[in-house]
Amino acid sequence: MTGGSPKRLAVLAGCNYPNSGHELQGCINDVLAMRQLLVKRLGFNEGDIELLIDAPNSKVLPTGSNIKKALLGMIERAKAGDILFFHFSGHGTRYPLHKDKRRQEEAVVPCDFNLINDVDFRHIVNRLPVDATLTILSDSCHSGGLIDKEKEQIGPSTVAPRSSPSPSLVATPKAIHFDSVLQHLTSVTNLATTDIGAHLLHAFSEDASLEFQPSTGAPLPQKLKADEGILLSGCQANEYSADMSPSEGGGKAHGAFTSAVLEVMGETKPEEWLSNKEVVMRARGVLKEEGFRQQHPCLYCSDENAAAAFLGMRAAAARDKVSGQQLK
């Protein structure tokens, strides 16, 4: 690691899709609450956090191009030892490959429907400097496996008991079905094809996913060495993440997974720290207690990063213990 303290950089993208047939309520609230956690608890500077939301008068909309530009810009600033974080709250989707319809790919859905998929996230992670880490927290449907070929640490094989949903909250799945994505893109491109790549290239050209670009180069290797990509997903690849709205007055709309992570962090004393694995397992416990039957957060990363402190939390805890600060 280079001299001095590591930089802590973040990109937060919240998509509520206002005035559309796919509107959500809690995604902007999610990233605003996450920004508070990063600053108050985890040692991030507000100036090093880029916020992309589709709210009125937003400076930067969370389009596919803007999100990827922000991520690549963050990586370009990074050096060895730096801690990078990307939080996405919004819709996810799965789509069949045009050449092999039996295979499904996972993607997040930016506000302009310019999908960012697991191949894109893998290429982004591959550009990290040595010993820098990129943690992705995706509160979206079908988010398990969003970093292509990353190792499963907590996933479908992790057993979690089922329970009953809470009647005090109204849940909306954070998923847009492939047919709806295709219908939206067809209205933009007027192409008579079910090939999602053709629509994305026609609508977004060089800003479309690398998976569909004609000059992406050699395919990704089937096996990759352990890297510094860390994915905390709101659910398994075949599941839905929930956008929660209070059924009566009081409280704010929120994503179930983001809220669970924030609750886990809020229950941790300033001098304590949690590993990435502990954060996900405790978030699973929170969702179980709140009555979620079919949403199981997952963790994908190397063995070393599974045991590593969530977003450098260990260093922050040690600092707080020495200084005696009581952060809220």
Interval 144-156 mean pLDDT: 89
Return the pLDDT at 163. Answer: 43
Return the pLDDT at 293. Answer: 78
Q: Which domains does the chain have, with CATH numbers?
A: 8-323 (3.40.50.12660)
Q: Which residues pair with 249 in a beta bridge?
A: none
Report the candidate in 175, 246, 238 with the shortest Cα–Cα distance to residue 29: 246
User: Which member of 15, 22, 27, 91 is catalytic?
Assistant: 91
327 has pLDDT over 70: no
Q: Which residues pair with 120 in a beta bridge?
A: none
Task: Indicate the pLDDT class of residue 215, thresholds 50, 70 and 90.
Answer: low
CB contact at 8 A, 69 and 116: no
User: Which member of 15, 27, 111, 141 is catalytic?
Assistant: 141
Q: What is the C-alpha to C-alpha distance for residues 286 and 234, in angstroms, rounded to an integer?
A: 12
141 flagged as catalytic: yes
91 flagged as catalytic: yes
Give the predicted TM-score (pTM) of the model.
0.90
Report pLDDT digits (tens) over 26-64.
Answer: 999 999 999 999 999 999 999 999 999 999 989 999 999
- Can you list the alpha helix ranges (DSSP code H) found in the chain? 27-40, 64-77, 118-126, 178-189, 196-204, 256-266, 276-289, 303-307, 313-323
Report pLDDT digits (tens) over 151-169.
Answer: 999 988 665 544 444 445 5
Q: How far is the CA of 99 from the CAs of 172, 194, 197, 248, 294, in angstroms?
A: 32, 11, 11, 47, 31
Return the pLDDT at 1. Answer: 44
Return the pLDDT at 192. Answer: 96
CB contact at 8 A, 233 and 84: no
